[in-house]
Amino acid sequence: MDKNRFYSFVLFAGILLGALMAAYSVIEKSNISDYKWAAKIEDTSIPMEKYLTQLDGLSKDKRSPLTQEDKEYVLERMIEEELLIKRAIDLGMLNDNPMARGTIVQQMIKTIIAENARYEISDSELESFFQENSGFFTKSSRLRIQQIYFSNEQLKDDSLVVAKKAYDLLKRGDDFESVSKLGSPSALKIPNSLMTLSKVREYIGPSLMNLARELEINSFTSPIEVSGGYKIIYLIDKEMASPPKLNDIKASVSSEFLKRKDDQSLRSYLENLKNWYDVSRNLPK
């Protein structure tokens, strides 16, 4: 073999080897990429990990090994589910269906506060929290309260005006029952009886509960802005007692600490969302 033919052969072999290696690289990359997802529906992917998790669940329920038909069946159901969700979005069902929206909101809330489940409370944090909220943990402390709610939706632009009018009437000495008629009928009905602080909290929330326990009997708050309007809290009667020792109710204090931490996490996340997205407000003057 002369030198020219030899060099030509080496050059051809080099080109062929390079082409094969390039092709193998493309195929390998394609395979890796393909296995990141199990299916694609337009711009939405079904992750391979999610698909394998579904298969694993099915395999645990079956006594016999999974067949190819089983694998195809699971993937087709996942594709159909994704198609139904996409179609529901296209039809505006998330905008018009309160149940669907509520389910998504609840799932988002669970996701946001899930991190707190692993939070370890230090002794100093717990002690500080207990001292700041000792009244809340005094089980024998009870309040008898009522509220007047002034709904923005029902009273439109006049909710604050009506609330201030009711407040002035109470200050003048008018009877609570008559003044309460100025409020919105949609207000949550509070039992007219002495209730523990934890029960009061369920009706009016922690902030208003703390305000209520500081009131004197037969006194009331000024109009307080709340979600959807304003409230006036009226204290009819109360029974206060000495707080217990932390060590005696440590589990309850820890539970309440985490509950409020969840509330704070959710509130912080919602405030961040308002900054991440462009939100325009058009409230009537």
Q: Predicted confidence band at 34 (pLDDT cuts at 50, 70, 90)?
A: low
What is the mean predicted confidence (pLDDT) over 232-260? Answer: 89
What is the mean predicted confidence (pLDDT) over 147-156? Answer: 89
Q: Predicted confidence band at 23 (pLDDT cuts at 50, 70, 90)?
A: very low
Q: What was the pLDDT predicted at 175?
A: 92
Backbone angles phi, psi at 140, to 5 degrees: -85, -10
CA atoms within a 13 Å half-sphere pointing along the CA-CB vector of 228? 9
- CA end-to-end distance (rounded Å), the chain: 96
Q: Predicted confidence band at 178 (pLDDT cuts at 50, 70, 90)?
A: very high
Could you tell me if 47 and 83 are in contact, meaning their C-beta atoms sit under 8 angstroms apart?
Answer: no
Give me 231's structure tokens: 């409230």
Q: Give the tens place of pLDDT for each residue, 64-110.
A: 888 888 888 888 888 888 888 888 888 888 787 888 888 888 888 88
More confident: 227 or 218: 218
> In percent, how much of the chain has pLDDT > 90?
33
Rounded to whole angstroms, the Cα distance separating 161 from 174 reads 18
Q: What was the pLDDT predicted at 169?
A: 95
Lowest mean pLDDT among 152-161, 174-183, 217-226: 152-161
More confident: 193 or 66: 193
Q: What is the dotted CATH code of the domain comprising 138-242?
A: 3.10.50.40
Rounded to whole angstroms, the Cα distance separating 259 from 198 reads 13
Instruction: Return the SS3 of 136.
Output: coil
Provide the strand spans (E) within 98-183: 142-151
Residue 213 pLDDT greater than 60, yes or no: yes
Query: What's the chain's average pLDDT?
Result: 82
Q: Where are the domains of the chain?
A: 37-96, 138-242
What is the mean predicted confidence (pLDDT) over 29-35? Answer: 48
**pTM for this structure?**
0.46
